[in-house]
Amino acid sequence: MPVPHLSNVQNGPLLELERRILEAQPQIEHWFRSQWCAHATPFYGSVDLRNSGFKLAPVDMNMFPGGFNNLNTDMTPLAVQAAMSAVDKVCPEAKSVLLIPENHTRNTYYLQNVAALVRIFELAGLKVRLGTLNPEITEATELTAANGAPVRLEPVERRGNRLVLADGFNPCMVLLNNDLSGGIPPLLQNIEQNLMPPLHAGWAVRRKSHHFQAYDEVAQDFAQLISIDPWLINPLFASAGGLDFQSRQGEQMLADTVSDLLTRIRVKYREQGIEHDPFVIVKADAGTYGMGVMSVKSPEEVIGLNRKARNKMSVVKEGLAVSEVIVQEGVYTFETVEEAVAEPVVYMMDRYVIGGFYRVHTGRGVDENLNAPGMHFVPLSFETACLPDRQGNPDCPQNRFYSYGVIARLALLAGARELEATDPDYE
């Protein structure tokens, strides 16, 4: 796969950023090593990046990544090795794992992701079975993923403080691939097995604003390390709470927040000689799956939303009501594949980058959210690992993937700090 084409000509600062990242590779890797000594690595994660040619930044970090099926299978051994390392840290004695996927069993692409995850952990030498929290599934149920792979879901049961399956399968580790948007089910509370990621990584507790607050610090430290302006890798953001989209409560305050942020972005654009229109993304502070997301170029746009827009903004997955939003600097996506907009997503397991893919979407603009419900993206997996090629240009595919892997790991590190800060048991 050719690396997507950067369609704008204003790619000077990004090339410079990529060049600095490449040059500083030993310092960067050393810095990551020391960071991972101080902060426990999230079990796994994926990061949505945006590359505007003048800025390369994470816009979302998923603690329960789907889409493992979109990774290049040539790189499965990397994922397996990373999975071995991740399991070793949690429970070196683990023989088996109970994987709890999302409840939406009708998305056969998601089922393909589940099958891909099962395969990785089986190759790492674990017995893997799938336990579902879906109340509609009351007995073992065979489903079929989009690629034909069989996916057998069994209802999770609780025996004392352990999760088991009906036949007594009693694993020492429970792996969540369910982001708990609907809240933390009592079934999962206070279990004695190793539960990864922890419950407070779910959207019942997690807030995007906490993540990007942690990312602010990480970006600051990293920018100092390689002597760059942190803005080049960090989208500005602000939070707004106390909202009720249906009753239009908090609307003016939201408009003011949008206005302030647009002004801050405009200042940075002027400083950097960037001639695009700033925009911001308004999204639910908790939740995922691209519901409750708006792309906004002026404060007026959030005033007097029509019913459709209000409905869209007021709930996210599993009916979670939106009263808090994050207003995030929009980062243009100028990477294109045959004129279609492409957004890179990088996958990590333990501290390792194990691959990535581009979300390629023909129907959307450079300033829109590409992870929207019903969106039909074409996944285009990274062809090579995210390792630098010292002989290549800064923007050759491998080196671009290396830069992507570095920025994604910064977001992972922010995720680690975020989990520490929100850990109910953390001292």
- The C-alpha atoms of residue 207 and residue 264 are separated, in whole angstroms, by 23
Candidates 50-58, 74-82, 250-258, 336-344; binding stretch for its own copies (CB under 8 A): 74-82
Q: Are 371 and 197 in contact (CB under 8 A)?
A: no
Strand positions, DSSP E, 118-268: 127-132, 141-144, 150-155, 157-159, 162-164, 173-177, 194-196, 237-240
Task: Find the shortest distance in angstroms from Cβ 78 to its own copies.
Answer: 5
Q: Is the Cα torsion angle 304, 277, 356, 173 positive or negative in sign? A: negative
Q: Does 28 bind its own copies (CB under 8 A)?
A: yes
Q: Does 152 bind its own copies (CB under 8 A)?
A: no
Task: Find the shortest distance in angstroms from Cβ 23 to its own copies.
Answer: 12
* CA–CA distances in Å: residue 256 to residues 148, 248, 260, 306: 50, 14, 6, 19
Which residue's CB is nearer to its own copies, number 128 or number 254?
Answer: 128
Between helices 25-38 and 208-226, what is the axis angle to 10°? Answer: 140
Candidates 49-57, 84-92, 163-171, 370-378; binding stretch for its own copies (CB under 8 A): 84-92
Candidates 11-19, 101-109, 222-230, 385-393; binding stretch for its own copies (CB under 8 A): 385-393
> Facing residues of 344 across strands?
358
Site string for its own copies, 338-377 (x = CB under 8 A): -------------xx-------------------------
Task: Find the shortest distance in angstroms from Cβ 119 to its own copies.
Answer: 9
Task: Find the shortest distance in angstroms from Cβ 209 to its own copies.
Answer: 31
Q: Determine which residue in the list 1, 5, 12, 30 makes contact with its own copies, applying CB under 8 A.
A: 30
Cα-only R_g, the chain: 21
Residue among 24, 50, 72 nearest 354 (CA): 72
- Phi/psi for 341 (5° steps) reads -70, 140
Q: Which amino acid is at 201?
A: A
**Which letter does DSSP use for residue 53 in this model?**
S
- Distance from first CA to last CA of the chain, Å, rounded? 47
Q: Does 82 bind its own copies (CB under 8 A)?
A: yes
Q: Determine which residue in the list 22, 75, 115, 196 makes contact with its own copies, applying CB under 8 A.
A: 75
Pairing mode of beta strands 150-155, 141-144: antiparallel
Task: Find the shortest distance in angstroms from Cβ 375 to its own copies.
Answer: 30
Residue appearing with tokens 């599934």: 137
Look up residue 267 and give its two tokens: 């200042």
Task: Find the shortest distance in angstroms from Cβ 9 to its own copies.
Answer: 32
Question: According to CB under 8 A, which residues from 108 to 147 bind its own copies?
Answer: 122-127
Q: Determine which residue in the list 92, 160, 168, 374 makes contact with its own copies, applying CB under 8 A.
A: 92
- The C-alpha atoms of residue 207 and residue 201 are separated, in whole angstroms, by 9
Q: Which amino acid is at 119?
A: R
Q: Determine which residue in the list 106, 338, 390, 426 makes contact with its own copies, applying CB under 8 A.
A: 390
Task: Find the shortest distance in angstroms from Cβ 124 to its own copies.
Answer: 7
Which residue's CB is nearer to its own copies, number 256 or number 389?
Answer: 389
* CA–CA distances in Å: residue 284 to residues 66, 235, 239, 299, 348: 19, 16, 10, 17, 24
Task: Find the shortest distance in angstroms from Cβ 307 to its own copies.
Answer: 51
Assign 3-state DSSP to the chain and report helix, strand, coil percentages, each to 5.
35, 25, 40
Q: Does 78 bind its own copies (CB under 8 A)?
A: yes
Q: Where are the alpha helices (DSSP H) in 227-373?
A: 251-272, 307-314
Q: Does 5 bind its own copies (CB under 8 A)?
A: no
Q: Determine which residue in the list 5, 12, 33, 189 makes contact with its own copies, applying CB under 8 A.
A: 33
Candidates 25-33, 41-49, 154-162, 362-370; binding stretch for its own copies (CB under 8 A): 25-33
Q: Determine which residue in the list 29, 217, 300, 420 makes contact with its own copies, applying CB under 8 A.
A: 29
Q: Does 74 bind its own copies (CB under 8 A)?
A: yes
Q: Does 424 bind its own copies (CB under 8 A)?
A: no
Which residue's CB is nearer to its own copies, number 173 or number 370?
Answer: 173
Number of residues this chain uses to bind its own copies (CB under 8 A) = 40
Binding site for its own copies (CB under 8 A): 25-30, 32-34, 36-37, 74-78, 80-82, 84-85, 87-88, 92-96, 122-127, 351-352, 385, 387-388, 390
